[in-house]
Amino acid sequence: MDPASAARSGNRVLEAQSTRGLLLSTASRLASFPGGDATFFSRLGFRYGTIVETFRRLYGSVPEVEGYLERLALILLECYRDRPDRLKDSDSRREKAQAQGRAWFLEPGLTAYMAYADRFAGNLEGFRRRLPWLKELGIDIVHLMPFFRSHEGNNDGGYAVSDYLGIDPRFGDRDSLVGLADELHEKGMFLAADLVLNHSSDDHAWALAAKAGEGKYRSYYYVYPDREMPDRFESAMPQVFPETAPGNFTFVPELDAWVMTVFHDFQWDLNWSNPEVFLEMLRILLGLANMGVDLLRLDAVPYLWKKPGTSCQNLEEAHVIVRLLKACADIVAPGVAFLAEAIVQPSEIVRYLDSGGLAGEARVEECQLAYHASLMALLWEALATRKVGLLSATFGSETRLPPGTAWLSYARCHDDIGLGYDEAKIREVGFTPGPHRRFLLDFYSGRFPGSFARGRLFMENPVTGDARISGTCASLCGLESAVDGEETELALRRIELLYGLVSSLVGIPMVFSGDELASLNDYGYQSEAEHAEDNRWMHRPRMDWEAAERKAAEGTREARIFHSIRHFFSLRRGIPALAQDAGFRVLASGSENVLLVQRCPRSEDERRVAVAANFSPEERAFPLAALGPGFGQSPLDLLSGRAVTTFGGMAILPAYGLSWLAEA
């Protein structure tokens, strides 16, 4: 062994001995506190090395780092002690299942639903009474949008959090949330909720204490007495809301200083380089888990670490934070999974699930799920252009995930639709990036001649020409603009096409509240002072329960879309090839309008399924030979229960048609 290798090996031995010693001394001190048991100390011992290593990577230069580690361990013990027995029992079952390769979030057929509790059903108790609606639709995971106390007036849809564990009285109280979680669990369902990691509201207790002059809490945020440091940051940081919240810093008179505010001036960015912030947020994370939350959506996770001279997004330290949070959560609540809200390039999104593995190192677990924002954007691009070149090329090359993780796929969510694509891929399929982006913006805002879409531009930047799109799925698909039966039919087919693909291409499909009824844009937001400047509220409609009653009436658009989505969800449960982590490959369809994707089950004993989708408003065909051997000359369309229509060796798809073709 050469001297350098010997030195590294010696250092690893010393570090391991130091970690073991720290573990023993920490365990000895924890033993004097109530609440620990063999399970807790076993989990602590198994993950303590990871915790120490990652904590020191973040905070090794902070004085008395061992003291912080001891405080961290005590938080874990206290939260484990407070975890209800019913949740501990659930943790044990999930741990055993995961050890056998059956993590709960990878159970075949899972579906998700996203909603604001107040806009869906008034409050948490009202939501609980409406659970039969979600069960009928076939929903498993219920994501409640922020229900915490938040900033008065405009609060960015609840993401300006004033109390991370305090339920907004308009929604109910802690008992309301726990009761809802318990009922979901009794029904075999799961609760997802947001953990807003990047910022707090400027009226959070920490911010108020900082304004009152308490230095401890001032250090929870990025606070600077003059513009020197803000200007250094601004030189490389993009703007999130250039129209309504330009820049990344706000002058706060009470502090006589500049505070980093990447999103809005009332959302102060937390300074995660301060270990006190980590400990505070860890306790909050575990507090949410102890209320019964099964899936934590890590909001704005790419923004967690800030360095001047960088974009302050996707820095390595952000990944280390997530690894550390997950290692800690696995001691107290190992049944809880993380969902990365990372709306960035697919190559960056994947790193929040398995960053170490992609770097050629041993796998390092972070999140288990991530939003497939790229697929969403690609689907809307194909719908506008009627061509699948970009979708086929990009989807086929950028969506591979490590084992044990999965995408959450969707047509749209509470947020805007970003139109970020790989410019090299755009050129590869024959488009010019700038004009192509302009076309999409004009198309979905209804400005392009002949466009069926009725959306609006969100956060248009006149300097760069950048913008995003707001609008409900139905309005963007043409239902709002339809003037006759033919246009209405095409609009309904587009909605069905999108949700059929979300249900079959990859991952767990998610519905945003109202889409199951083909809800149109709600322009009432313009008369609401707290919402008027944010047109995303047009696609966050209040649930129309009168319209919901019409889904029982044959021939209504509500009945058609509700039952179509329910059919997609119900059918995919029994198709192993459509499991969220099943393999796939894009096939050459021979048509610029037809997407052809083969889904491959994990077991060779199960049948493959080919997903065929026509993005044209006219009938299109593709050669059956493109499916490869095994599908025969007249494969069964699982969606209709009939053999696909064929002619001369070609499979025929109607306008905006979709088929799930089964291997013989």
Residues with a catalytic annotation lie at 299, 341
Round to whole Å and give the CA distance between 343 and 240. 12
Amino acid of residue 107: E
- For 642, other C-beta atoms within 10 Å of its C-beta total 11
φ/ψ (deg, to 5) at 161: -80, 130
Round to whole Å and give the CA distance between 411 and 261. 30
Q: How many residues does the chain have?
A: 664
Give the strand pairing for 295-299 and 223-224: unpaired
Round to whole Å and give the CA distance between 80 and 76. 6
| Contact (Cβ atoms closer than 8 angstroms) between residue 490 and residue 478 | yes
CA distances from 291 to 74, 75, 104, 174, 326 (A): 19, 16, 18, 8, 18
> H-type helices in 238-370, by residue range?
275-290, 316-332, 346-349, 351-358
Round to whole Å and give the CA distance between 399 and 505. 11
Round to whole Å and give the CA distance between 345 and 343. 7
Residues pairing with 161 in the sheet = 150
For helices 38-59 and 3-30, give the axis angle rounded to 10 degrees.
130
- 456 burial type by CB count under 10 A (0-12 exposed, 13-18 middle, 19+ buried): buried
Amino acid of residue 80: Y
Round to whole Å and give the CA distance between 328 and 346. 27
What is the rounded radius of gyration, in angstroms, for the C-alpha atoms of the chain? 25
- Cβ neighbours for 394, distance < 8 A, ≥ 6 positions apart: 346, 374, 378, 421, 422, 425
